[in-house]
Structure 1
């Protein structure tokens, strides 16, 4: 029997093998940790921000009786704070013996409290430290000044006095922190005084001044200080460049931005992603987006900031589809989005009214752990609202903890846009009860809601509370809301007097609100006067001409209507073409007035005819005052060629039975289309949601969420 392998080893040497060595196993963890070893573990845990490791290290420190060692205790306090558990740091600090709390311990905790936006607690601990006989050093003062910047300037002034008392006013880092504190308190005069008194100036202090000018929107000052840095040959760094480029971006100083671009090349800093990101942002905001794209393409290692600048650039250029596409390319390249990424791409999805896109982004938000971020949640509320899903917006709001004013305002705005004016007032009152201070936009929504509910007295009460209670000066949008409030109530003379008496020069939104009221109430004489004012303020707005021409036509004054249209032609103005779009199976279909471009045009118009026949049986009568055709026999027919009616017919043909029909329109929906949508929602037992340029109309069971008051 032949064996598969020889029983005796062969003497033939095939090749030489290295001696086999079994790799030694990793050494077991030491049974006895030294303070140095534990300190190394703390530093590693600080980098990873791992709370589980922090508690394990804490246990070992207690086990080995090392809590009395100040350097370990200080680093442990910092570790808990870095892991996001500042309350554990405070608890640990409160239980420590007095001898463990030296100036380093106090400074570490004050630093973390400032960093976690707990300025009052930081100031309280600073005072406690001094009361126990521990004197602050230059690091303590540098730590407490950011907390002063987050409160009121008087705290900063008091700390400034202590700095002088302890002799640290000439320390370059303390002085730089003082400059930063005064700048954040909007007192660049004091910041400049501190800067001028510094015996030596490093780049940190110069940058603090540039950032201060930037924060206070004193952009020329930021550029001026950057030029001084160049003249002094201090060698600007990436902070200097990013700050001054931001100043150029905010003022559209393209030529200056290009010069700074050249300086960055000469200084050898153009290869830094931080500088390139700032240059991209500058070119984008200055209207030279093509140059921003070219820079983007030269960056090899793109970080999340680089991608954010590009996505925001597409949004600023109204290319929302590109913005969404770039976001998904960023994800495919393995770059993790941050809160700015999500907020920007949600803004893009909202403007597209792309609900499917928005829900996919929402999934990413949950997966990446940003679901609790208030900025992101506010953007989610707005996205769902603009995509027509108020129920989802409401769910996001209700699941939000620790709501801030942005979150409240997003929900209030959502209800306002969807015609739930009463709910707007209820939410606003709930917000006030929770001690939240409303902002500029909150009041715009509330005053607009009062206009849509006809609550004139309540509207004036809220308007007066802006100055009397909330110390807020009304702006043009608030005055426009008040004119609209009076105009909708039919009190046109009062509305006109109000517009003429406001402390600022009435802008187009104020007079536009009054012109709309004149149209709604048929006051042609006042409408002519108001339209003349609007022609002077915004001569290129064709909508004002169209509105006046329609008012003339409705009164039968066709000659004057034709004259207004002639003036439009003379001025090179054209009425914007009505356009509606609808999403079916992840594809967007666009229809214009009298559109016959679709491959199923015959079916669409056949369905449109069926809709017309059915709504007439329900009592529909054409509202020909909304037709722009002057020939009487064509007026009613032209109404049925409006883009939203064509989109409705297409939706009835292609969407599943019972599915909501969501239509977006670029203009204000006309009264005739509004009536047809109401009746159609009852006939076909469908929810029809139309988002026009002003608001949402949710048609269901023969009625609209706007209450026919829009």
Structure 2
């Protein structure tokens, strides 16, 4: 029987050198060819140091060869060699077969630190963080000494899991073993803490005697992520001025994100100058961040300049600028950019299509929407939920609800966003019954609604004149545990307020857990609208006591409440306080509300004087003149000259709006100037101005009926006459009882 020759390494030194050299140069095919050639000639490999390069080659290009090599090791009886077993473990680990890796580990007679490092690193590399950390803790009890790379991987695993007590244990272990002196390990610890607790990260950072650029970058990005962008910028400035540390691209990107978060365009421009000075503008990632920063700081022109001077652009660059133009209302420019994108042979992706759909929503252009839908199908994006949900929304905004419903019905998998979007689509198109039916269908599918779903449902229910549907929506919000959320509670109180149920509005308001400026503003507006101006002012005081500063909407609501409640002096005092604070810049809408306040109080001269002052700087528009005209109608001692001037301005500013003509006519009618009143009503007919008539609504047998003055609906007339007759009988009975 012939046995294959077993040749020592010394006789095959040239062959061994060739394999090792090929492995160093990563010529894996050459490594396996050399091995196969000798293997076919009957030479058996016994040198342990050669198994590692051979198995590395197998993991790179041929798993089958690796299994075969493992079988050869078992056949030769050299699997007891720890270094060979480690190489086999490393092969299985790199190919993702962790069960096979563990089997080899368990079958080893002698294990060393390398064995445990390979096993722990393998589990963590393939995403099994819990198992990797468990094995690490287990190995520590046996006196295992990890290498730096394994320790960094374990720290990253704890970072991914976000477990603070495990992070603290690891910190203590590093101090005890002296690994904290290794910069890579120390920076990994800092990164781990920065993702879990910036307080602990700051403590570690403060204790570091030598902080490199990575440590600074970790702290700056950590503060940006935790919502403390002002601290991040302060750290960046300290890094530059105090320590003179040379920054890298990642640190600059974090600083740009801080500017974006704070909408700090001035600091962003300064940072842009620094980027140009350091030559970082050639970095495409930094260039994209600059575009994003300028776009979100409402400076699309500078965003375009940053994009224009980028030496190299990718799809992210185009999309960042496109998104910036859309967000800043530059819709025509966005379409032009897309044309340039097509000319440059840049293929649109999902983000591009979503941005273009937002442009369609602005223009309400069904043709463009259908074209983008076609592109979506051609690019196989029909499974992209973001695109499909946006399509449903845009079709609805283009009043193509049938297309929106068709796209929705073709969706194979619907999430909460999909259902919410369809409910909003039907509501937008004035189909509340269909919107509510979609919600009911959603509930039947066991899909859990979120706050946005409930908001859309509330809006749909508010279409009905009776309170039954809105109350049902309120009940659903309570059952889902969403009624106490700020955004949902605010919407509910607003609905009750619009129905005149201010008592329930107040109850809902008090049940909101985290009240903010929006919820307070809504409640102030509700009190003003329902004739409780004093309550509105009390809410303003309560709001300020909670440290919540009023915004422009709050101020408008307070002024409106004072105006409708006849609190002229209080309204004027509040407006003067608002002007002095300079926290919110007064807009034309605020001044129009002030004109309304003065006009309702009969101070027409003061209102006219205010408008004259405003006219010097800008066109006050129809709202201010309309408020003054309404005041002229109710004030019988008004200056006739003012009345004529006001009527002229109102009709000039909105010649096709019937409100101005009706107000003027009613004003003259109130003074018994019937010829003048008739003249303005005739002008409405002559100019063919559309008049939207006011109407009343009554409920009969759970049905709602609408009628206007002069309505000849016989059913309604009979019902009204019957009701009046009943009221007359009741009044007679009351009179008899009183007598």
Residue 408 of structure 1 aligns to a residue in which SS? helix
What does residue 199 of structure 2 align with? 90
- 2:525/2:561 contact within 8 Å kept: no
Q: 1:582 to 1:206 in 2, by over 3 A?
A: same
| Aligned equivalent of 1:332, options 444, 456, 460 | 444
Distance in 2 of aligned mates of 1:166 and 1:540: 59
Distance in 2 of aligned mates of 1:103 and 1:534: 64
What does residue 391 of structure 2 align with? 279
Distance in 2 of aligned mates of 1:354 and 1:45: 54
Cα deviation, residue 589, structure 1? 3.4
Q: 1:43 to 1:210 in 2, by over 3 A?
A: farther
| Aligned equivalent of 2:349, options 231, 237, 242 | 237
What does residue 494 of structure 2 align with? 382
Distance in 1 of aligned mates of 2:414 and 2:332: 31
Unaligned runs of 5+ in 1: 1-26, 81-87, 620-710
- 2:458/2:473 contact within 8 Å kept: yes
Distance in 2 of aligned mates of 1:484 and 1:443: 14
- 2:462/2:469 contact within 8 Å kept: no
Q: 1:40 to 1:422 in 2, by over 3 A?
A: same
Distance in 2 of aligned mates of 1:104 and 1:372: 43
> Per-residue displacement from partner, 1:48-87 (whole Å, max 9, x unpaired)?
xxx7xx256446646865995458635643653xxxxxxx
| Aligned equivalent of 2:559, options 437, 443, 447 | 447
Q: 1:510 to 1:149 in 2, by over 3 A?
A: same
What does residue 589 of structure 1 align with? 704
Residue 590 of structure 1 aligns to a residue in which SS? strand
Q: Does 1:511 align with 2:622?
A: no
What does residue 608 of structure 1 align with? 727
Residue 150 of structure 1 aligns to a residue in which SS? helix
| Aligned equivalent of 1:438, options 547, 550, 559 | 550
What does residue 604 of structure 2 align with? 492
Distance in 2 of aligned mates of 1:286 and 1:429: 43
Distance in 2 of aligned mates of 1:487 and 1:515: 8
- 1:42/1:79 contact within 8 Å kept: no
What does residue 271 of structure 2 align with? 159
Distance in 1 of aligned mates of 2:437 and 2:721: 34
Unaligned runs of 5+ in 2: 1-130, 141-145
What does residue 207 of structure 1 align with? 319
- 2:527/2:535 contact within 8 Å kept: yes
Cα deviation, residue 458, structure 1? 4.4
| Aligned equivalent of 1:143, options 254, 258, 277 | 254
Q: 1:37 to 1:373 in 2, by over 3 A?
A: farther
| Aligned equivalent of 1:32, options 121, 129, 138 | 138
- 1:535/1:544 contact within 8 Å kept: yes
Distance in 1 of aligned mates of 2:679 and 2:244: 86
Distance in 1 of aligned mates of 2:411 and 2:212: 47
Distance in 1 of aligned mates of 2:279 and 2:481: 46
Cα deviation, residue 441, structure 1? 2.3
Q: CA RMSD in A?
A: 4.4
- 1:351/1:386 contact within 8 Å kept: no
Cα deviation, residue 177, structure 1? 0.7
Distance in 2 of aligned mates of 1:618 and 1:568: 51
| Aligned equivalent of 2:227, options 117, 120, 123 | 117
- 1:371/1:377 contact within 8 Å kept: yes
Structure 1 segment 386-397 matched on structure 2, within 5 A: 386-397=498-509
**Most deviating of 413-422 and 458-467:** 458-467
Distance in 2 of aligned mates of 1:235 and 1:469: 51
What does residue 121 of structure 2 align with? none
Q: Does 1:77 align with 2:193?
A: yes
Distance in 2 of aligned mates of 1:320 and 1:376: 19
What does residue 403 of structure 2 align with? 291
Residue 192 of structure 1 aligns to a residue in which SS? helix
Distance in 2 of aligned mates of 1:335 and 1:256: 32
**Most deviating of 137-146 and 384-393:** 384-393
Cα deviation, residue 294, structure 1? 3.1
Cα deviation, residue 311, structure 1? 3.0
- 1:73/1:100 contact within 8 Å kept: no
Cα deviation, residue 281, structure 1? 3.0
Q: 1:388 to 1:266 in 2, by over 3 A?
A: same
Cα deviation, residue 230, structure 1? 1.5
Q: Does 1:407 align with 2:516?
A: no
**Given the two structures, how large is their TM-score scaled by the length of structure 1?**
0.69
- 1:412/1:428 contact within 8 Å kept: yes
Which structure has more relative contact order (CA 8 Å, sep 6+)? It is 1
Distance in 2 of aligned mates of 1:518 and 1:289: 45
Structure 1 segment 314-325 matched on structure 2, within 5 A: 314-325=426-437
Q: Does 1:187 align with 2:299?
A: yes
- 1:248/1:282 contact within 8 Å kept: yes
Distance in 2 of aligned mates of 1:334 and 1:315: 22
Cα deviation, residue 202, structure 1? 0.8
> Per-residue displacement from partner, 1:245-277 (whole Å, max 9, x unpaired)?
213322445554444444444444355332233
- 2:634/2:667 contact within 8 Å kept: no
Distance in 1 of aligned mates of 2:487 and 2:420: 15
What does residue 15 of structure 2 align with? none
Distance in 2 of aligned mates of 1:33 and 1:392: 63
**Most deviating of 539-548 and 436-445:** 539-548
Residue 693 of structure 2 aligns to a residue in which SS? coil
Q: 1:543 to 1:331 in 2, by over 3 A?
A: same
Cα deviation, residue 180, structure 1? 1.0
> Per-residue displacement from partner, 1:23-44 (whole Å, max 9, x unpaired)?
xxxx997671688699689769
Cα deviation, residue 383, structure 1? 3.1
Q: 1:556 to 1:363 in 2, by over 3 A?
A: closer
What does residue 98 of structure 2 align with? none
Cα deviation, residue 534, structure 1? 4.2
- 1:437/1:470 contact within 8 Å kept: no
Across the two proteins, how many residue pairs are aligned to each other?
580
| Aligned equivalent of 2:360, options 227, 248, 256 | 248
Q: 1:615 to 1:279 in 2, by over 3 A?
A: farther
Q: 1:476 to 1:252 in 2, by over 3 A?
A: farther
- 1:42/1:57 contact within 8 Å kept: no
Distance in 2 of aligned mates of 1:377 and 1:401: 9
**Given the two structures, how large is their TM-score scaled by the length of structure 2?**
0.66
Cα deviation, residue 108, structure 1? 4.5
Q: 1:217 to 1:575 in 2, by over 3 A?
A: closer
Q: Give 1 or 2 for the bigger CA radius of gyration.
A: 2
Distance in 2 of aligned mates of 1:106 and 1:368: 44
Cα deviation, residue 203, structure 1? 0.9
- 2:158/2:167 contact within 8 Å kept: no
Q: Does 1:341 align with 2:444?
A: no
| Aligned equivalent of 1:579, options 682, 693, 696 | 696
What does residue 282 of structure 2 align with? 170
